[in-house]
Every structure is written in C-alpha cells, then in structure tokens.
Structure 1
C-alpha cells in the first residue's frame, strides 16, 4: 500500500460547530430535550405499552447487582451504547450536568459488567458464559464491541472523561489479543460489520496504530478463502443461534455478509444493507489513513452501483424485508421495500468519508438526500415514536392483512424489541455539526446548507464563519466571515446541489462566477471580517423520473423541491391514492403554510368507478376521470397527522 501524503479535508470537531438553524435546531433540541430522556426511560423499561428493552436490566444482572435471565436480542447492549454516544455528542455542544450524571452512572454499570480480561457482553456473561467467540456469524459480539468503542470516543470528546474510553480500550486490547493473522490468533471477522469503523475512531482518538492495524485485518480477512464463517458453522455442527440444536441444511450465505469475495474485488452492493454501508465506511476510512488507492477505487465502484442502481429517491437503501437487504440492480419496489433507517444513516457515514477522500458534490447530494428525507422520517414530531422501515407506498389495510407487508407500518411505534434505529437517529442528529463543514489546509468546505457557526484554521489563520440558510423552504444561503485574524488568501467552497438548476453566487452583494469543480463552487481571496459569500439556489419544484428499467415506477413521477422529496397522503387527497394522477403539463404550485413549510399543489385527476356495477369485480365499463386538486407534502413529515395511505410515485397522465 502506498503512503499518500495528501492532506484530506477533515470534519470539524463538534466543539467547533454550533447549529443555529430555523429548521434543524428544532431537531437538535428535540433529540436533547425529548428523545434522549425518552430513550433512557425505554432502556429502563419504563414506557407504558412499548416493547421492553431489558438493556439496563441485562447489565445489572451481568454486573451481579440483580438476579435474573438475559432477555432481548443477543446484541441488546448496543441500544445503551448508541444512547451513550448520542449523549456524548449532545454534551459536546450543550453541557448538561444532570444528563452527564445519568450517563456516568450507566458507564459505571458497564464497568461493573466488564470481565477481568476486558471482555464486555451481557448475553455471554449471563446466558452462555462459556461460548465467547464461537458464533461470530450470528451473535454480533464484535458489532456490539464496536458500538461500545464509538460511544467511548464520543463521550470523551463531549466531556473529557476517560472512564468509558478506558473500558473500551481494555475490550479492544482483548480483541486484539484474540484476532489477527499472527500464530495462535483467530483469523475471523464478525457477521455484522461495525468493529472496523469503530477501531479507526479509536485510533484517531488515541493515536495507537494497533487499532488501525486491527481494523485493516478485519477488512482484509473478509471474503478470503477458506471462508471463516463457513468453517465456524461446520465447527458448531451446522447450527445457528436463531434455531438452537437444529442442524441447518443451508450454510450461511457469504454474499449476505459481504464475505463472498475479498472487499477489493467487490463491485456490487449485496446482502444486508446496514452491514454493507458500515463496511464501506470502514473501507473508506482505511483508504484515507493508509493512502490505499485500490481500496478507495473499490469504494468508488460500490458507491456507483449502490447509488446509481439500488437507491430509492428518498436516499434509502435495502429493497427487501427478507434479510433487510439489497436484491439486484433496478429492483426497487415501492410497497414492500425495507429501507431501514439505520441503512440511510450508514449511507451518510459512507458519503462523509468519500467527501473526505475527494470532495465531490455527488457525495454531498446523497448525504443531504438521506438526511433530509429518510433519517428525519424515522422519527415523529413528538420524538417518542419511530419508523424502522421507510416505505415508498403505504396501504394500511395491506399492512394489516397481507403477510408480505406486515413490516410496512402506517404509524410510528413507541419502541422496538430490536431498537437499533431510534438511538441511531439520536446519535446522528446529535452529531450533525460534523457533517456540515470540512476543512483542508486552506479550504473550508460547506457540504450542507445548515445554519451554524464554526471555527477552523485556514492557511494559518484562525477563522470563524457564520452560515445562514433558508433551506429547506427558501433557497437563500450565505457564509459570513465573522472573525479572521491575520492576512492571506484561503478558499471557501460551497456545494452546488444537483437539484438547483441555476445557482447565483455573490461576494458582498456583487455577483460572481466562481470556479465550479466536481459540484463545488470555489472562491479564493484574502477574506476579511464581514465578508459574505452568498448563493441563491433554485427552489422551483420539479419532477423526477426513474430509468425505464425500474419497473415499479413505469408511468410514474415523483416530486422534489429543494432537498425535499414529496409524497401524497390520504389526509390531503382522500382514498384511494392509486386512483389519482398528475398531468405531465400540470403546473406545480408551492403553497406556503403558516409555519413557513411548503406543500405542493397541482390540478390532477381521479379515476372513479361510478358506472361499474357494485356486484362485479371485472367488467367492460371504463373508469371515469374527474378533475381533482392534488396536494403533496414533504415525505419526511408523513404520518404525523391522521393515519392513512401514502404514496411517493404518482401516475402521470401524458
């Protein structure tokens, strides 16, 4: 591997960014004031009529503070870890002594559950204490360890306290003693990727290269023959954690675990969607830290396939509920898709790393699409109800009556037995400041138009900027130099969103024509305090069409305005949504609401069966067409009013 000395732009530390945004501040406040406290109650099984978590109780049993049996999924510990990570991120920007005290008590509990050799896992401490590391394909031990490590890094960054980091390092050192290519170590890897990207974060936090080396081992070992997961399955007598004692006819599917071939040879996104994007994130991390050109090229290939052939219009991935997985190119059904919230979060992780490797607007566009549409759709406006699945189409009767659509929910749930998504949303939005900006030696990149203040060192100058934005409702945005010591040129680079047909730039009110390169507008000058770089983005609503080989969307159209994808809900349009259509020449009108949000209106049609005999299922009578005003609302907010049908892709009349 080469030692590329190029300095890549890096995200700003959370302590250097403050979100001040008319749209996003409400989400950040919701996470801090409502979601984090609510999820703590859920972890302690104190939410009435919600599925129990048992996470805290499992730790108390493992720590010897309570008697009982392990309950929940084998990876239940991760719900607490992701909650702690969200807390760490929140405390970095909003200190809260009471919240910190609660988190410290949870950390103390984790420490009491840790074994002398550093191992931490409540399932194997309580349920199967003699079977550590015997079923990596099913039991997610390294996945759970990864989330502990991520929580520890976030918490030390947010509070300066090292207790959780010490716990995580002891566990990581134990893992390093067990796994590796050296004689006497296990040449294995987890069935659910996560440890790899976490170890990179641990390396970044501690500077200890052994953690980077271990992350690289897990990535490079995956997919090599003989396949470790198959050998392990044979050693277990061909049994699975999910069906104890039952000999399996079919071995673990290597493609499902992205272990069908070495990662450098993979060029199609396959298998479990969350595992895939977590692995791709780690691959990009390692490519950056090690200057690994071939690994970066593998990331590019996988990105092109996933985004170009297997991503939904709302920035979600994973088209089937069978295994929460990818299927094949252009297979994007609307009424049965899975599109797990966690998968879009992982896609955002991957996009941010690719932006570090090569600042290109396409990565920022996808990061924005997933963030504005899927991630925020996964949480209700009250912060206490969540979607696990993010469908393109909902018919509540089918969700209830069709076994193939039981995973499609018309209402967000209070909690889940497998609750990976709710705390994942919390940790992402709590760390939102890490996704807005990146800084190189002399360039500040604005990846997202989210109002904020940020500090960075550019060309030796200490600079503080203030980003103001009207998105997602208005297209005006500006980047003001609030403070800048010394003198000397540096560059401001604004992403030019692909959805903006015409973007107008100005410096201090005078229109300019900046250099546009790879989807970013670059303006280089000796910036001084008070200077303003502004942009006016095109907010005209427009139609989106899928390629003709996406069969589910043949003859259909979707609507987008700014970064927001829109949908049609029964509450606005009545049932049945499949009966309404949008003429191809109908004007799309923006309707501004009292709260400043924007709906889209158009003159469309509804097909009716007025002339069909009620006793006949089929007949020769042609449906009649009646004019109807149709209304589209932002997809991210669907399901927050009356329950009912929802549709993203509407029939188009030509």
Structure 2
C-alpha cells in the first residue's frame, strides 16, 4: 500500500508574491470583506436572531454561506492575525451560541423559521449540508486560533445528529440530499480523536442508496407521493444505488464530488480496499470521459449535473465554480490515499483554470458557471443560464465563499507529508515549514510559476538529516530536469507515479533546481467529444488559453488556427501585467460576396489573414464584455 499523505497545516505555508500569492492577497483584502458585507446586507448574519413576523426570514442554506466565510476567515487568521476580523467572528459566534438549542441542534432556519420541520426533508432542505459546513468552519477556527468554543458547539451538534441517525432502535436511516457532512465529520474525527465521528461519517456514506429508499419513506411521512420525485431519478443525489456499487459520476456535480472525496478520505482512514476501488472506478470515468479541459465538471445546467460520457458542450457548459472546488477536494483525498501525481495534476488543472476563472482580478465579481465559449447576444434565450459578465453576488451564493475558503487554504493543497517524505504538489513562490516525524525543515521556493517553468527550492532542515523530497513532475511536461546543488539527477531513476523522489542526507542550504519546459501545446479532444471535433485548445504549462472579442473582434467562430502556424509567447504586450499571452497568424472566414444571403451553394471566397491573440482562460472577462472561445478551429 502506498504511503498515506497528510496535508500541510494551512498556517505552515506562506505564498509570498507571485501569481498565487497575489490571488491570496486579493482574497484576504477584497473577497473576505465583500463576503462579510454581503452576508450582513442580505440578512445571513442576522438569521440567528430572527423572530417570526420580522422581514427577510432565513433561508434553508444561509448557514452554509456564513460557515464558508467563517472557514475562509479562519484560514486567513492562521497566517495573518487580525484583531478586527477576530472580533467580528467572535461576535457572530456569541449569537450562534445563544441560538443553539439545549439538545445541541444548531440551524438558524429550523430554529427560527420552521422548527416543526426539523429532520423531515433531508432530500431537499440542506439541513445536514449546513451542519457539515459549520463543523468544517469550527475545526478551521480552532486550529487557527486555539479557541475551542465554536468547536465545542459543533461537537454538541454532531453528537445530537448521531442520536437521530443510524441503525439503532428508534433512529432514522437517513442521509443528506446534499453531501458535505461526511467530509466534515472526518475532519472532526481527526481534530478530536473521537472515533464516533468517523463512525457517523461511515454510516452516512454506506446508508446512501440502500433499499428501502429513505427519501421515499420521509416523503410519505410528509404526506407526499414519492413517485412524484422517484420518476426523476435519485441519481441526482448519488442515491440511485449503494455507493459501493457505483462506478460512474452521476447527478449533481458538487454533491457527487463531495461524496467521492469523503469516500476516499474514509478509505484512507480505515484501509477499506473496496471503497478505494470504487473511488478509482469513479475517478477513471470522470477524468477520461466527463472532465472539461479546464478542470470543470457538470456539463448541464439542468440539475447542475453530469450527463453522459463525452458530453462536454462549450457554450452551454455549466461547470459550476463549486464543482471545480469539489473536484479539487476529491483529487486531494485521492492524492493522500494513493500518493500518485495524476491527482495533483487535476488539482492544478482545476486551480489555474476552472477555479480562478470564478473571480475577477480585483476580487469583486464572481462567476457561478464557467462556460468554455460565450456569445453574449444569445444570453436570455436559453443558451446560458448566467450572463457573460461576473456578478457581484447571487441569490444562491454558494460559489463566492467556497472559492474564498479554497484560496485561503491553498497551502494544504501545495504541500503534504508522510513519514520521512516531504511532498511538493504545487509550485509557487513562498515557503513551507514541515514536520516529517524524523526531521523538521523549511522549503523555500523561488519561481515565476505558472508563467515560467524554473523552480529553485532551498532545503533547510534544522540539522543535517536523511529524508526524501518528492517533487511532482506535471503530466503536461514531457522533458523535466532536476539538479541538486548543481549536480544533474537522472529523472528515470527517481521517477515514481508522477513524482521525483530525491532520497539523500540533506544539509541546511541545499538547493534543488527543477526545470519544467513550457512550450505551447495544441491539445485535442477525443473524437467522441462532438463539440470539439476539428478544434484545438492552446495550453502552456498548466494554463489554458482562450480567444476574447476584445483582442480578436467579433464572430470568433469564424477564426481558425492553421495546423503549422507558429504560436509565440508575448509577455511585454500583454494586457495583464506580467502575464504571457499567445499570438499567432490565423485565418478568418471571408464575408465577401455574401451580401444579404444566409446560405450559399457556390464556393466562398478564401479566408483572410487574421492576427490571433489568446489570453489565460482564468483571466477572461476582466475587460470589456464580449465573445469568448477556448476551443479554436484548426485549418
């Protein structure tokens, strides 16, 4: 069995400048304050004090939005202490503590608005989902600050939930319609050492989809006809069959990937090989049949869901920001379980493309869905559910705070440890303090990644020590090179499952240089992806590029890139400071001779030359609104 990895503590990793460091600064200085203000202005913070008869009653999922802000704020505090932010958190926690019921129950909607509906509609009401996010926030806050009052609150809540759900006499055999609590309970288990939380997570995972179907039972108890929903299929909840019998990702993409992440986490904690094999099967289908090149998942806005193999439309792509985040969690847990670079590759793919596209450069506006092509004139006619511009907020605002908590916790994705080994999963300027059990050390990276593939890593153990440094060799890179203190390393002799394992006795100040050449690559989709046939995507390093109307004019579908055209990297002329853009000599379908005709049977005029400019997909829509296309016709 492969070594199990443990993520680095968020507070042990610092991103100091560079592209990711700037994204994290914007998260701290702009996004977190915006989230707090939006939660205040929309009534989410006041939900705990709401009384019947007052305006703006709480909604069933509001607690999750607040909890994600709390979690993101906790991660920020672990690196950047802030008395004012801590004060805002503590004031909110006091209100939550006053609202918590004597039995431990903690949900603003079902305490203030509909107490008679507690635990009556797990399918639709997000009750356990909100509980999960509160638990994750409390664990993060305790680890960041050492304050445990919030953690004590959610432990009482989790203990209450354990009395309600299970296989014992008088217990409900239920599970959440929207998964999340499974991940949270496993975090609570690791934070407290209390195995009952692991057991509850295992119960929720294993009970899902079993017959008789719980969602049908609770529907009857509410006086509803279960057939009204059953005809739509329970695959939207990943409850169409027991999870161990599932081999493909189905249903709502966020719910699905949260579930799969928890399954992988549970397999790692318990050594459950059957669950591991299920996760592998789902992963294989997801990444080989149902994954957007941007790291997006969930191709249909109807149900925000997976559809069928190779169904990856571009203009109507949903690819919710939260779904890329959920995929990152799944990939991270699989990485911890299997120590295989393929999972870190997907983390990087989603991070630099499907996740960072979800927020503007200044951190003030957000995308909910992330299509791979946009024709703004068609908005409002069913082509796209969301406009082609980022929005300041959403009525259902799950994505902005979810994005904030991931950006604030990137250190836990970037580094990991196992006994005697330090794992570097992502490259970014900064440092990490790691404890390998046998040695303590600091790793310091100097790099301009993802725009440049040279990475210099200084290794600083507290004293000379023998251990392994495992460096990820990205799947997109075909010719990596490594040297230690100037001496080249034979990559083939140290390469295992996507990592270079450098085992030696390390001294303070040892320097590792990693070179990852970044030529522009033309990536093609499988022939069964009908939407991308005859098209290419441009990729450099981990970054996907797209065409925008701002650079290339309207009617992007009329543009093509000749098969042998050179694509050059231009950093000086970039509209985004320091960010390379791609330029090439392409072609545009000619409009000459068409006059007022819509169709013609004669030979059209030959294409005309066109200068093509491609910008990073994650940065599109930061200028004027207009068309966008990631996949380009190849001529």
Q: Distance in 2 between matches of 1:117 and 1:459?
A: 40
Q: 1:541 to 1:90 in 2, by over 3 A?
A: same
User: Residue 323 of structure 1 corresponds to which residue in structure 2?
Assistant: 303
Aligned ranges for residues 114-153 of structure 1 at < 5 Å? 114-153=100-139
Aligned ranges for residues 18-29 of structure 1 at < 5 Å? 18-29=14-25
Q: Distance in 2 between matches of 1:171 and 1:651?
A: 55
**Are 1:31 and 2:33 matched, yes or no?**
no
1:172 to 140, 153, 158: 158
Q: Secondary structure at the match of 2:589?
A: strand
Q: Distance in 1 between matches of 2:610 and 2:192?
A: 62
2:483 to 506, 516, 526: 506
Q: Distance in 2 between matches of 1:642 and 1:537?
A: 34
User: Residue 442 of structure 1 corresponds to which residue in structure 2?
Assistant: 420
User: Residue 506 of structure 2 corresponds to which residue in structure 1?
Assistant: 527
Shift of 1:462: 1.8
1:372 to 336, 352, 360: 352
User: Residue 13 of structure 2 corresponds to which residue in structure 1?
Assistant: 17
Q: Secondary structure at the match of 2:413?
A: helix
**Are 1:619 and 2:608 matched, yes or no?**
no
2:550 to 553, 557, 571: 571
**Are 1:255 and 2:235 matched, yes or no?**
yes
User: Residue 243 of structure 1 corresponds to which residue in structure 2?
Assistant: none
Q: Distance in 2 between matches of 1:359 and 1:564?
A: 23
Q: Distance in 2 between matches of 1:276 and 1:249?
A: 19
- Cα root mean square deviation, aligned: 1.6
Question: What's the TM-score, normalizing by structure 1?
Answer: 0.94
1:546 to 525, 531, 553: 525
2:332 to 340, 348, 352: 352
**Are 1:652 and 2:630 matched, yes or no?**
no
User: Residue 183 of structure 1 corresponds to which residue in structure 2?
Assistant: 169
Q: Distance in 2 between matches of 1:446 and 1:188?
A: 40
Aligned ranges for residues 290-309 of structure 1 at < 5 Å? 290-309=270-289
Structure 1: runs of 5+ lacking an equivalent: 46-52, 241-246
Please say which of residues 464-473 and 196-205 is displaced more in the overlay. Answer: 464-473
Q: Is the 8 A contact 1:233 1:251 kept in 2?
A: no
1:489 to 463, 466, 488: 466
Please say which of residues 69-78 and 256-265 is displaced more in the overlay. Answer: 69-78
Question: What's the TM-score, normalizing by structure 2?
Answer: 0.97
Q: Distance in 2 between matches of 1:43 and 1:533?
A: 45
Q: Distance in 1 between matches of 2:449 and 2:364?
A: 25
User: Residue 50 of structure 1 corresponds to which residue in structure 2?
Assistant: none
Shift of 1:73: 3.9
Shift of 1:620: 2.6
Q: 1:84 to 1:547 in 2, by over 3 A?
A: same
Q: Secondary structure at the match of 1:139?
A: coil
Q: Is the 8 A contact 1:70 1:122 kept in 2?
A: no
Shift of 1:382: 1.6
Q: 1:234 to 1:553 in 2, by over 3 A?
A: same
Q: 1:634 to 1:323 in 2, by over 3 A?
A: same
Please say which of residues 505-514 and 548-557 is displaced more in the overlay. Answer: 505-514
User: Residue 223 of structure 1 corresponds to which residue in structure 2?
Assistant: 209
User: Residue 592 of structure 1 corresponds to which residue in structure 2?
Assistant: 571
Q: Distance in 1 between matches of 2:461 and 2:267?
A: 35
Shift of 1:69: 4.7
Q: Distance in 2 between matches of 1:28 and 1:448?
A: 15
Q: Distance in 2 between matches of 1:21 and 1:288?
A: 34
Aligned ranges for residues 267-282 of structure 1 at < 5 Å? 267-282=247-262
Please say which of residues 506-515 and 409-418 is displaced more in the overlay. Answer: 506-515
The one-character-per-residue Cα deviations of 1:250-294 (angstroms, maximum 9, x if unpaired) are 556211110111111110001000000000011011101101111
Q: Distance in 1 between matches of 2:28 and 2:22?
A: 10
Q: Is the 8 A contact 2:368 2:386 kept in 1?
A: no
Shift of 1:72: 5.8
User: Residue 639 of structure 1 corresponds to which residue in structure 2?
Assistant: 621
Q: Is the 8 A contact 2:571 2:580 kept in 1?
A: yes
Q: Is the 8 A contact 2:3 2:339 kept in 1?
A: no
Q: Is the 8 A contact 1:389 1:409 kept in 2?
A: no
Q: Secondary structure at the match of 1:590?
A: strand
User: Residue 68 of structure 2 corresponds to which residue in structure 1?
Assistant: 82
**Are 1:209 and 2:195 matched, yes or no?**
yes
Moved beyond 3 Å, runs of 4+: 69-73, 247-252
Q: Distance in 1 between matches of 2:55 and 2:118?
A: 17
Please say which of residues 635-644 and 514-523 is displaced more in the overlay. Answer: 514-523
Q: Distance in 1 between matches of 2:317 and 2:359?
A: 18
Please say which of residues 466-475 and 337-346 is displaced more in the overlay. Answer: 466-475
